[in-house]
Amino acid sequence: MAGPGGSRPPSRGRSFGTVAAGYATLRPSYPDDAVAHLLGRGGRQQVLDVGAGTGLLTEVVLGGGHDVVAVDPSPEMLAELTARLPGVRTAAGTAEALPLGDAAVDAVVAGQAAHWFDVGPAAREFRRVLRPGGALGLVWNTRDERVPWVAALGRALADEARGHDADQGVVDGFAAELGADVAVAESGTVQRLTPDEVVSGIATRSYVAVMDEAGRASFLGGLRDLLATHPDTRGRAVLDLPYVTRAFRLSPR
């Protein structure tokens, strides 16, 4: 279907450039303990953040004292990353064709991104760029639907959001391709947002970015109505939006 002005809407995998600024400010970051689990061994490491987007995961890795190269297919996302983290080396590229030499990094990490990767080619690239003893770290934040209003929000998103969050099958696929042992850790994070910010954050999701203008307005309007009427959110100026964070460290044998 053509978008406004007769142009085609972007595919889900390539849609993030259209919402880069909102992604940078409205997506949740990752807990320090989850990122420490991804990297495993101590000491300063050379880390590749693939599908780095605006640098949410990059920033936490940097905060742990590591060096990072950030790779993403979207120039708009990388521009936001550079504006926020001007000292980070960036490069355009994909998981399946990494712009790095062999044995270049101690760890490869991906935040909220691995479900976009083509597992076979990406795993071959990860093995190529990893040094001996290196690891692949995959992490996702998923809304904590044990909270009733968050569960209601999840039901409203369910038809559009399928496959968008953590997928155990993706982890299993990479583990099989890499012949890797998997260690998982669970923690969490909370965003304090206004109701409008909750909706604007959802608007940065790929499945919303590819909607036509009328469909997007209708979909987001329904979410605003939900937050305005749900007994746990009605009349509240600020909401605590909780996430469960699952961090997987894959150590190739």
pLDDT for position 3: 32
Determine the 3-state secondary structure of 49 from DSSP: strand
| Helix H or strand E segment including 230 | none
pLDDT for position 209: 82
Report the interhelical angle of 148-161 vs 213-229 (nearest 10°): 170
Nearest to 94 by CA among 79, 67, 113, 76: 113
CB 78 within 8 A of CB 71: no
Q: Is 147 exposed, middle or buried (0-12, 13-18, 19+ CB in 10 A)?
A: middle
Determine the 3-state secondary structure of 243 from DSSP: strand
pTM summary value: 0.85
CA distance linking residue 173 with residue 152, whole number of Å: 31
User: Backbone dihedral region of 130: left (phi > 0), alpha (psi from -120 to 50 degrees) or beta?
Assistant: beta
Strands annotated E in the chain: 46-50, 67-72, 89-92, 105-111, 130-143, 180-193, 239-252
| Sheet containing 67-72, strands listed edge to edge, beginning at the edge strand earlier in sequence | 89-92, 67-72, 46-50, 105-111, 130-143, 239-252, 180-193
pLDDT for position 166: 54
In order of their start, the domains of the chain are 4-252 (3.40.50.150)
Q: Over the chain (253 residues), what is each successive 10-residue block's mean pLDDT?
A: 32 46 74 96 93 96 97 94 95 98 98 94 98 97 95 87 66 97 96 95 84 93 97 98 96 94
Cα-flanking dihedrals φ and ψ of residue 110, to 5°?
-145, 125
pLDDT for position 82: 96
Determine the 3-state secondary structure of 233 from DSSP: coil
pLDDT for position 20: 55
Q: What angle do CA 182, 186, 191 make, to 5 degrees?
A: 135
CA distance linking residue 186 with residue 42, whole number of Å: 20
